[in-house]
Structure 1
């Protein structure tokens, strides 16, 4: 870790423990951007694991920061609802995008069931050679001996190609998917107005509507658009619900995996002993992949809304209150995970993490994400004994996605 990053973290620790507990607000995006949110969550886990923040940019909210408490909230959808919004931020009243992740049963279950076969065992076996071939081509085109952006050349390109395959989207236009994903996850206020962003997203809706109309008039196929077009619970969705579900699948299939690909390389760079162990024993990839996903925690939080007053571990959560489950904190809970701040590629229980959520909303594509990470690291180790991170990555200013805008790397020439 560079001196500047160490100084920032030290200052954050001092702030975290000197701020009155009732004034702590862990939602500030700047802390995630600079990767200094850790001591704030550490203090909440220790002193106030069910914590109420009265004042924030997003209004009042509860923070749930311990592993088992998060699981309790996740599995009690009778009290804690996903309806409306699954982030700390509310949707805009004039641009509401319903999507199945932000729904409760039975509608959630019916819509999720429609797209589940795309990540079933049979289809994953079909996709594996495609992912391997494309990963190999991407890696073989990387420059040797010069600095380049790992996020753009590898993480985005690999996941965008995969997403285009899942949608059966025109391959030559696949970067549209990256663009639309960024419109929903990146603050674009410096380049466009909110109205312009909404217009771009409606352009996404109309583009996919054309694909939908084509697939709806053909026999059912195995791509996501055909599945939605022929699914009993999804074939008649209103336009905004259609767009909401499309954006959900784009972000879910793109951002989380691409940030784990980048985060994995960063973790190995910061832990050279683990990188050396991996090179000596590539068989450790199978346990390293879930450790990357835990360590990175690509989705930092999910939010629920209380459907009624509820007493939870000595605190009364009121009907209508926001309840934010901080996965990024639960994945560092030392009462559940041994040495949680360490990156250890051969943990005994590497899948003991919250990065995919829990219960009925657990990430439907988690096995595909793990497979992509496994394959990309298998192919990396075949080609490059060393990949050097040349400078600190540029992170997204977001308390929802732990994402990277860029990360300069260099592959040394072999001697």
Structure 2
């Protein structure tokens, strides 16, 4: 798409966002994210109604949007008032298909279950994983053809993160794309094109549960507990007696958390560097900037657009009274573009002074358990890219985006690779 066409679309989205009555704005409409039209809506809410009430739609029901950085932080760090217990997405779970998971629990159960899996991303274990990630990243990049269109999402972003996830679960490596599919299905709706019906979604997730029950039974009977996520869950004091649906819920949390977020930051980083070619030049001139660039990419991309909480009591946020039982969406995607806190927030600035000043991992007790692993994978893939190419990898057209207001991601992004250095 030409720059003029992109500008026309942006102007059109802006006119639309500012002409609609404030009360009618529903930023949880997934088509805004698929069509990349959400930015002016969030800009307007931050300016005119930073804590905004929406009637939503039949999927979400009514909810509050919190769109400014500091207000989001105040909600995220106050789990005593804003609970995760009702679920982390605006769509309520169906009564007959509930999937408990520790991110959607409050203390003490949340803390006990989180402790079971957190050793997998402890510094010592990450140090052991680094060589494996580097070797795999190099192999993935070496197999890419030059001089012809390549789908970066499928060949690089999904492949690297799915290989990593298979390692963390000690999952049969040749069947690893099952993890990709279950990750996509877990957050899909009928409109997404991923599934045809809610019945299909449930059937595929139950297949996931059955597959993992087989792995659980192997690990629980092992003489020596393994150092993988399933072994940790099977032997953990607070997780070993989970029923099938709670096991499935925690699996989905670990699959989506360990896969979707990193893969969309790998794609989003390359997309952003193409949008800001001066930053790509800066990177090529100084590869030592990568550790600073990684959190900036994660801020700019914001791979999960929001997290939901439910008010346990009446509370005031940003001058608005949120009543007990009402849903609250903390729009990380908006807080990360808050002009009052972050300078030039819409731009990728890879040498930004405080790149870790972002909301993408959340704050408080639910802060992303795998944040350091995500950063390490991004750092390594970019180190390996720069070893092979001293010219930019070119994004050929606007990417196809995921039909979701929760996962802010990419379905397809065609690129062309320059000639390799050697």
**Residue number among 287, 295, 312 corresponding to 2:292 in the alignment:** 287
Indicate if the aligned counterparts of 2:71 and 2:317 stay in contact, CA closer than 8 A.
no
Indicate if the aligned counterparts of 1:84 and 1:98 stay in contact, CA closer than 8 A.
no
Report the equivalent of 1:146.
148
Report the equivalent of 1:94.
96
In the TM superposition, residue 149 of structure 1 has moved relative to its aligned partner by: 0.3
Which one is further off, 56-65 or 331-340? 56-65
Indicate if the aligned counterparts of 2:389 and 2:419 stay in contact, CA closer than 8 A.
no
In structure 2, C-alpha distance between the alignment counterparts of 1:4 and 1:170, rounded to whole Å? 45
Indicate if the aligned counterparts of 1:186 and 1:396 stay in contact, CA closer than 8 A.
no
> 1:12-411 to 2 correspondence within 5 Å?
12-57=13-58, 58-187=60-189, 190=193, 191-218=195-222, 219-385=224-390, 386-411=392-417
In the TM superposition, residue 217 of structure 1 has moved relative to its aligned partner by: 1.1
Residue deviations 1:349-377 (CA, integer Å, cap 9, x gap): 00000000011000000000000000000
Secondary structure in structure 2 of the residue aligned to 1:311: strand
Change (3 A) 1:321 1:263: same
Residue deviations 1:278-297 (CA, integer Å, cap 9, x gap): 00000010110000000000
In the TM superposition, residue 6 of structure 1 has moved relative to its aligned partner by: 2.2
In structure 2, C-alpha distance between the alignment counterparts of 1:66 and 1:128, rounded to whole Å? 36
Secondary structure in structure 2 of the residue aligned to 1:344: coil
In structure 2, C-alpha distance between the alignment counterparts of 1:354 and 1:266, rounded to whole Å? 20
Indicate if the aligned counterparts of 2:86 and 2:309 stay in contact, CA closer than 8 A.
no
2:5 counterpart of 1:4:
yes
Residue deviations 1:31-73 (CA, integer Å, cap 9, x gap): 1111110111111111111111134342111010000100100
Residue deviations 1:356-401 (CA, integer Å, cap 9, x gap): 0011000000000000000000000000222111111000111001
Secondary structure in structure 1 of the residue aligned to 2:112: helix
Secondary structure in structure 2 of the residue aligned to 1:244: helix
Indicate if the aligned counterparts of 1:25 and 1:53 stay in contact, CA closer than 8 A.
yes
The alignment's C-alpha RMSD in Å is 1.3
Report the equivalent of 1:412.
418
In structure 1, C-alpha distance between the alignment counterparts of 2:402 and 2:356, rounded to whole Å? 26
In the TM superposition, residue 188 of structure 1 has moved relative to its aligned partner by: 5.1
In structure 2, C-alpha distance between the alignment counterparts of 1:86 and 1:161, rounded to whole Å? 26
The answer for unaligned runs of 5 or more in structure 2 is: none
In structure 2, C-alpha distance between the alignment counterparts of 1:55 and 1:142, rounded to whole Å? 43
In the TM superposition, residue 246 of structure 1 has moved relative to its aligned partner by: 0.4
In structure 1, C-alpha distance between the alignment counterparts of 2:118 and 2:20, rounded to whole Å? 45
In the TM superposition, residue 186 of structure 1 has moved relative to its aligned partner by: 3.1
Which one is further off, 252-261 or 181-190? 181-190
In the TM superposition, residue 208 of structure 1 has moved relative to its aligned partner by: 0.5
Paired residues in the alignment total: 415
Secondary structure in structure 1 of the residue aligned to 2:321: strand
In structure 2, C-alpha distance between the alignment counterparts of 1:136 and 1:161, rounded to whole Å? 13
Indicate if the aligned counterparts of 2:189 and 2:198 stay in contact, CA closer than 8 A.
no
Change (3 A) 1:29 1:2: farther
Secondary structure in structure 1 of the residue aligned to 2:290: helix
In the TM superposition, residue 414 of structure 1 has moved relative to its aligned partner by: 5.6
Change (3 A) 1:115 1:267: same
In structure 2, C-alpha distance between the alignment counterparts of 1:197 and 1:324, rounded to whole Å? 24
In structure 2, C-alpha distance between the alignment counterparts of 1:24 and 1:111, rounded to whole Å? 37
State the TM-score, normalizing by the size of structure 2: 0.96
